[in-house]
Each structure stands twice: as C-alpha cells, then as structure tokens.
Structure 1
Amino acid sequence: MSRRKRRVLWVLAALGSFVLLVVGLFALNGLVLADRQTPRMRHFADMPVAPTRSAPGEVTFISYNIAKGFAHKGGVNFESREIVEAKLKRMAEVLRAEQPDVVFLSEALTELTPCDIDQVAYLARECGLPFVATGENYNLGLPFYRVVGGNAVLSRTPLTPVANFDLAGRQPFWVSKNNRRALFVSVEFGGKPVLMGALHNDSFDMRNNAVQMQQLLDFIGDRPAILAGDFNNRPKDRSIALVRDSGKFVGEFDGAPSFFEGKRAERLDYILVPAGWELIESRVIPDDTSDHRAVVGRFKVK
C-alpha cells in the first residue's frame, strides 16, 4: 500500500473516531446526565427574602414565560451574555415590583454554554425568592457544551419536590422542539400542603394539548392544587374548558391577552388555584420584555 493511501486511511479513521466520540458524548448527556424526571431543588440561603405585598391570609402569584431570555437567535447562533443579562434585569424589575410570594417560570434556561448564565438563579436572586425548583423539558448537547431548559418555581417559603413527569406526545431526548414535562412541587398554604404545577403545554397540536390537560387533572386527583404557566390554550379552547368544568379550580379563566406576536394577541397564560380560594386581583403586566406578558394573581387562601 502506498504512503498516500495509508495517509488517507489514517485520516478517515481519525474522522470516524471523532464522529463516534461526539455521538457517544451526545447520547451520554441525553440518556445519563440529563435530569429527566426529578425536580432540582435549590435554596439560596445567603440572600435576603424580599418583602411581600400580600396581606395575612393572602398569596400573590406570577406566571411568566420568559422566552429563554431571548438567548437563542436561531440555529447555532446565540446572543451575548451582556444582552441576555440586560433582558433578565428588566424581567427581574417587572417581577420585583409586584412583590410576589411565588413565581412560575416557563421557557427558562438553567444552562446555555455559549451564553453562560443560569436564568432561573439570576431571577431568584434579583427577586429575593430563595427557594427554587426547576424541571427539565430538554437537555441537548454534550456534557460540556449544552442547552438545558424547562419550567421553574421561585418561592419565598420552602418547597417540597413532587415530580417532573413526561406529558403526552413527548419526543426522544434528541428532539428539543415542543418536548414538554410538568413540574410539580408542594408547599404549605393555610397550614395544609398544596400541589403547585408549573406548566408549558403543547403549542402545536391542540388535541394533544387537551390530552395533556386531562393527564394533569388525573395526576392531581382530589388533592388541592395550583396550576400556573403557559397553557398554550385560549379561554374557549378544550383544555381550559376541562379545567373549568372540573370544578376544582378558581381563577380568571378569561382576561386580557398575555401573548403577543405580530397581530396576534391571545390569552395563553393562567393562574388557577383550589376551589374555595377567593380571587382578589388578576391582571396582565403591560411590559413587552418577553413575547408573553407576566400574569399576576392575588388570592385569599381558604
């Protein structure tokens, strides 16, 4: 065999080994290192807790889809850390001004190697909400170069992990688009444990969205629960009707638009609490930092 042929074979073997290594690391990250169905709990004990505007016996919630802090520009292009942090700073100002007790986040990134900032931790610290739970919807990339995102709950009081389970229609781990899980934690209100679910449901197939909602209702059963987040369903759509007709929740099932894209202005985000609680205030914050407006709900606890 000539020297030239040996050189070509060596190059091909090296390229093949490199491709196998990358594929192996990708599979390792997605199958082993991804925290698929376990809520990740954190407590930032070194930070002061922000004041609340809730009166005794009341609780104030915010639901906010932060659109990944607009860190992803498409393909393999990402914004700089400085630009994303400026966005997050504005989002934190919006949240902090409301002095909430609990914030539900959707489309929140905890890792993005090209733009290295934990969006959930940043907002928790800026808002003075030290108890944090996150649930992965996707974990895509290599162990040292990846994007990790999903739902989160920020709270001024301790949280107990419950589940971060797959919703109907979930795709294999290498598909990040429209892959959904539901993050559930438990917290005490009125001296009793209450489930809290942070949601970001199917945005493409409304029939599957309704299947997901029924799955959530079956999981909750007869337990008191709060559902908040991006339901990706309008007030008259099937999923919202399922929740309303169950008789287990109160809240504003209609209301001002919370999502804006071009000429679209739709209500997609909700905060729904156990039946028997009293809705005191519900409104949408008029700030366009994200394509979703933050929804505020203040309730009197039963």
Structure 2
Amino acid sequence: MSRRTRRVLWVVAALGSLPLLVVGLFALNGLALAGRQAPRMQHLADVPVAASRSPAGEATFVSYNIAKGFAHRGGLKFESREFVLAKLRRMAEVIRAEQPDAVFLSEALTELAPCNVDQVEYLARECGLPHVAAGENYNVGLPFARVAGGNAILSRTPLTPVANIDLAGRKPFWVTGNNRRALFVSAEFGGRPVLMAALHNDSFDMRNNLTQAQQLLDFVGDRPAILAGDFNNRPENASIKLIRDTGKFCGAFDGPPTFFEGTRAERLDYIFAPAGWELLESRVVADDTSDHRPLVCRFKVK
C-alpha cells in the first residue's frame, strides 16, 4: 500500500469518526458536565450594592421572566450579541428603577454560544445586586458550545444555597422544552432564615403544573418561604388555589395581567411571601421589553 493510499484511508477514517466524537461530547456534556442539582452561587464583590426603596422592616421584590433576552429566533437562528445586550440594558433600567431587595428571574441564560453573555451576571452587575444564585433547567450542546439557562435570584444581601430540585415531568437532558427545576436558596428577613424559590412551572400540562405546585409545597413544608416567578397558572386555576388555600402565604393571588402575546393578556406571574407578612403594594410595570411584565411586590416583614 502506497503512502498516498494510507493518507487517504487515514483521512476517511478521521472523517468517519467525527460524528462519533460529536455525539460523545454531546453525551459527556449532558450526563457529566450539565444537570447541576446544586445552585450556582456567586458573590460579585466588585459590584456596589444598590440602594433599596424599602425602609427597615419592609422588603421589595421583583419577579421577571426575561424570555432568554430574546436571543433565540427559532431553530438554529440566534440574535446578535449586540441585540441581546440592548434588551438586557433596558431590562436592567426597569429593575433598577424599582430599587428592589431581590429579583426572581425566569428564562435567564447563563450560556449561549452564538451570542454568549451571562444574562444573570449581567443583570446582577447592572442592578447593583451582588449576591447571585442560578439554577439550571437545561444545559445542552458541546462542552465548548452549549445553551444553559433556567431560574435565578439576585439579592442585595447574602444568599445561602439550598437546592435546585427536579420538578415533576422532567424529561431527558437532550429535551430543552418545558424541562423544569425549582431554585431554592435561603436569606435572612426579620432576623430569621426564609426560603426563597425562583420558579418557572409547566406551561403545557396543567395537571402536571398542579403536581409541581404540590411538590413545591411538600418541599417547603412548614418553613417560611417566598415563592416567586412564572407559575404558568391563572388566578382561577388549580395550582394558585392550592397555594392560597394552604394559608401559609400572603400576596396578590389575582391582579392585572403579566403575560402578553398577541391578543392574550393573562396573569401568570406571582410573588407569595410567608403568611405572617403583610402585602403593602403589588403592581405590574408597564414595560414591553419582554413578553412578561415585571411584577413588583412590597411586604412588611413580621
């Protein structure tokens, strides 16, 4: 066999093994490098802490589904980094104006190879909220080119990691649509630890959405907790009624719509605090940067 023939055979073999290599790296990322069950915690020590509008004994929270910064256009099409940053800058302006003590994010990307920007860290820096927790709902792709995103909490005060639990109906790692986890951390309010959960529940199967709500209540138990995010459930639906009927939470169980799509306008986002607290203010910010409007709630901490 001539040297030329050996080279041709080597090239053919290398090209033939390339798909196997890609599949192997995809599986490695999905099975070993992704699927973080523990919250990813950051303290951005170089970020000055923003002022809070809440006096002592009160706390202001924002719940905001940022729709991935509209980075994904469908299929394999993505927006430019400049487009995504422009969206994030506007979102940061809206959040900063509320001077919150904590922000609960849904649909926030920490990695996206085509227009890579950590949306969670960016908003934390821009809003002066240096204590950050992120919980992956999905992480798919290759180790050096992947999409990772989920829920997050940005806070003026320190956060302690608790869990990033799988919610009912979770699918294999290569399925990114409707794969849900719930991010739990703990922070101190009124001199005692309080659980804080950032949520984005099932948007297709309302029976599974109800199962997820019960799962969240079981996890919380009798501990004081804040549940905030995109519940994908309307005020009259079973999941919201279930949470209300426990008597363990206060907040606005009804109110103006938070989600807008075409002619649709629905209340899907909520912030529920421990029952011993008092809701002082609840309103929806009239800003259409995302398809969800930011929900702002202010509580008296008891």
TM bracket (short chain): over 0.9
The alpha carbon displacement at 1:35 in A equals: 4.4
3-state SS in 1 of match to 2:149? strand
1:246 correspondence with 2:246: yes
Equivalent residue letter for 1:232? N
Who is 2:138 aligned against? 138
**1:281-296 paired onto structure 2 within 5 Å:** 281-296=281-296
For residue 174 of structure 1, give the secondary structure of its aligned residue in structure 2.
Answer: coil
- Alignment TM-score, normalising by the size of structure 1: 0.97
Question: How far apart are the structure 2 equivalents of 1:239 and 1:180?
Answer: 16
Q: Are 2:127 and 1:127 equivalent residues in the alignment? A: yes
Partner of 1:233: 233
The aligned residue for residue 194 of structure 1 is: 194
Give 1:261's aligned residue: 261
Letter in 2 for 1:136: E
Cross-structure match for 1:104? 104
Instruction: Give the secondary structure class of the aligned counterpart of 1:121.
Output: helix
Match for 2:183: what amino acid? L
Maintained 8 Å contact 2:60/2:102: yes
Deviation at 1:55, TM superposition (A): 1.1
CA contact (8 A) 2:50 2:99 kept: yes
What is the match of residue 76 of structure 1?
76
Rounded Cα–Cα distance in structure 2 between residues aligned with 1:16 and 1:202: 40
Residue number in structure 2 paired with 1:299 = 299
Q: Distance in 2 between matches of 1:74 and 1:192?
A: 45
Identity of aligned residues (%): 79
Structure 2 unpaired stretches of 5+: none
> Is contact 2:240-2:253 (8 Å) kept?
yes
Give the secondary-structure state (helix, strand or coil) at the position aligned to 1:270.
strand
Separation in structure 1 between the aligned mates of residue 107 and residue 165 of structure 2, nearest angstrom:
16
What CA distance in whole angstroms lies between the structure 2 residues aligned with 1:177 and 1:277? 35
CA distance in 2, matches of 1:8, 1:213: 59
What's the CA shift for 1:6? 8.5
Counterpart contact for 2:106–2:198, Cα < 8 Å: yes
CA distance in 2, matches of 1:2, 1:156: 70
The structural deviation recorded for 1:201 is 0.2
Partner in structure 2 of residue 177 of structure 1: 177
| Distance in 2 of aligned mates of 1:147 and 1:78 | 11
Matching residue of 1:94: 94
Distance 1:218 1:243 in 2: 11
Distance 2:119 2:161 in 1: 20
Paired AA for residue 137 in structure 1? N
Unpaired runs of 5+ residues, structure 1, are none
Specify the code of the residue in structure 2 equivalent to 1:210: L
- Displacement, 1:276? 1.3
Which one-letter code corresponds to 2:112 in the other structure? L
2:270 is matched with 270
Alignment TM-score, normalising by the size of structure 2: 0.97
Number of residue pairs the alignment of both structures matches: 302
- Deviation digits for residues 56-81 of structure 1 (CA, Å, limit 9, x no counterpart): 10000000000000000111111111
Runs of 4+ in 1 over 6 A off after TM superposition: 1-9
Following superposition, the deviation at residue 14 of structure 1 comes to 3.0
2:14: which partner in 1?
14
Shift of 1:36: 2.0
Provide Cα deviations, 1:277-298, integer angstroms capped at 9, x if missing partner.
Answer: 0000000000000000000000
SS at match of 1:150: strand
Q: Which residue of 1 aligns with 2:161?
A: 161
What is the distance in 2 between the residues matched to 1:11 and 1:118?
Answer: 38
C-alpha deviation, 1:15, in angstroms: 3.3
Distance in 2 between residues matched to 1:36 and 1:204, nearest whole Å: 24
| CA-CA distance at 1:13 after TM superposition | 3.2
What RMSD over aligned residues (CA atoms) do the two structures have, in Å?
Answer: 1.7
